[in-house]
Amino acid sequence: MTADRKIRVLVAKPGLDGHDRGAKVIARALRDAGMEVIYTGLRQTPEMIVNSALQEDVDVIGLSILSGAHNAIVPGSRRCCAGTRWMTSWS
């Protein structure tokens, strides 16, 4: 990443939680801070999130989870990231 390239962030709402106001507030704050933000929308699977992140060539993946399902979603997301550049951040 060069100094003139914006940080690219993917913000995702995994699982069945249907509330996305917080994710949208965070996405807006990141945009206001000069980052490029891709919001995937509601009810994404870990596989869908990682595929979107790969397609969009993002630098960061942000997960917004309010349903209490983080104990299942985060490990699933880690498995999907195996072999990608993001795993170095989770080691």
**SS3 (DSSP) at 51:** helix
Tell me the C-alpha distance between 46 and 65, whole Å: 12
Amino acid residing at 32: D
Domain total of the chain: 1
Residue 74 lies in a domain: yes
Cβ–Cβ < 8 Å for 48, 40: yes
Which of the four pLDDT bands, split at 50, 70 and 90, describes residue 89?
A: low
Q: Report the CATH number that the domain containing residue 61 is assigned in CATH.
A: 3.40.50.280
Q: Which domain holds residue 79?
A: 8-84
DSSP secondary structure, 53-65, as one string: HHHHT-SEEEE--
pTM of the predicted structure, to 2 decimals: 0.80
Residue 91 lies in a domain: no
- Asked, for residue 2, whether it belongs to a domain, the answer is no
Q: What is the pLDDT of residues 42-58, one digit of tens each?
A: 888 888 988 999 999 99
Question: Is the Cβ–Cβ distance between 49 and 74 less than 8 Å?
Answer: no
